[in-house]
Amino acid sequence: MNELQEKILKIKKEKNALLLVHNYQVPEIQEIADFLGDSLELCRKAQAEEDADMIVFCGVDFMAETAKVLNPDKKVVIPSGKAICPMAGMLSMDVLLEAKKKYPGAPVVLYVNTLAEAKAEATATCTSANADKIVKQLGAKQVIFGPDKNLGYFVQKCVPGIELIYVPEDGHCRVHRFFGAGEDAMELKKQYPDAEVWAHPECEPEFQEKADYILSTGGMVRRARETSAKTIIVGTEEGLVQRVQRENPDKKFFPANKYAICGAMKRITLENLYFALINEEPVVEVPTDIADRARVAIERMLELS
């Protein structure tokens, strides 16, 4: 552990702060997390939090917003105000409200990768770990779903009797589009024919069809422990690859594409985490009326999952 990590842990203890860290963060931040996980796991941890005086969220904007929505009376801080998820910005309120008007009977299921104002219009939110379960449990024939169309493709295969209406039409994660149709993963598979190939459901359908497993990042962490395979080709952001390699040193993990790096996640560094703890800013704020409505959709997801 380096000197700055030790300073952060000391200040965190003095201020009774909880450090929530997403799987895509850099290793030196993962190593000092109070809790390290995927979006669903972090939502659950934020919901259950009672003792901390402050939550410091090392993730992108919509994640920190979710923590604030679930903890309206706590101070929530994100180390960089520039950690902005491009996918979350793809769903405009105009498009969402128009879809609700066009399909008045359809429930709205939105990926947590959306801003709080969009969540406020949702029936329930979802993550890549539970999207198919949430859609199925609503019992509707049509569901307005967004913003990630590739996740929608995965969900549609799991619930063939339900029509998904995408908002927007081509919402996507720029990082997972780097994997394309899985060409690089398949080249690695030629070198390591016994390797498992994993794809995140935000990957393109062509890659999903070639993968051995389609998994959320939390699912990848669990599969890394459980698989008997000694070589795994991982189709998601590099931070997760680094985590599973660190936790499973007896196995070898290869990124399916070495350029799949989330610049928004990497806006958070040990340095700005340190200053966020010292200065207790940038503070995450969500207007009360939006937070109250968004909380209903998030809690519905947690109940259903």
Q: Which structural domain range is residue 246 located in?
A: 179-255
Q: Does residue 146 sit within a domain?
A: yes
- Do residue 25 and residue 92 come from a single domain? no
Contact by Cβ (8 Å): 128, 216: yes
In sequence order, what DSSP letters do the residues of 230-268 get, joined into one string? SEEEEES-HHHHHHHHHH-TTSEEEES-TT---TTGGG-
- Do residue 63 and residue 192 come from a single domain? no
Q: Does residue 228 sit within a domain?
A: yes
Contact by Cβ (8 Å): 166, 142: no
Q: Does residue 260 sit within a domain?
A: no
Both tokens of 54, joined, read 């402050």
For residues 6-10, average pLDDT: 97
pTM, entire model: 0.94
- Do residue 209 and residue 77 come from a single domain? no
- Do residue 44 and residue 57 come from a single domain? yes
Per the structure, how many domains does the chain have? 3
Percent of the chain topping pLDDT 90: 94
Rg over alpha carbons for the chain, rounded to the nearest Å, is: 19
- Do residue 189 and residue 230 come from a single domain? yes
CA distance 273 to 25: 12
CA distance 162 to 218: 26
Q: Does residue 128 sit within a domain?
A: yes
Q: Does residue 230 sit within a domain?
A: yes
Q: Which of 80, 229, 123, 109 is nearest to 167 (CA)?
A: 109
Domain at 49, CATH number: 3.40.50.10800
- Do residue 238 and residue 277 come from a single domain? no
Both tokens of 119, joined, read 């969540």
- Do residue 239 and residue 189 come from a single domain? yes
- Do residue 92 and residue 165 come from a single domain? yes
- Do residue 198 and residue 140 come from a single domain? no
- Do residue 59 and residue 95 come from a single domain? no
Among 28-42, 172-186, 203-217, the range scoring the smallest mean pLDDT is 28-42
Q: Does residue 125 sit within a domain?
A: yes
- Do residue 272 and residue 239 come from a single domain? no
- pLDDT for 212-265, tens place per residue? 999 999 999 999 999 999 999 999 999 999 999 999 999 999 999 999 999 999
pLDDT-derived band at 3 (thresholds 50, 70, 90) equals very high
pLDDT-derived band at 13 (thresholds 50, 70, 90) equals very high
Predicted pLDDT of residue 51: 86
CA distance 71 to 77: 12
SS (H, E, C) 79-141: CCCCCCCCCHHHCCHHHHHHHHHHCCCCCEEEECCCCHHHHCCCCEEECCCCHHHHHHHCCCC
- Do residue 59 and residue 100 come from a single domain? no
Q: Give me the chain's average pLDDT, please.
A: 96
Contact by Cβ (8 Å): 165, 106: yes
Q: Does residue 41 sit within a domain?
A: yes
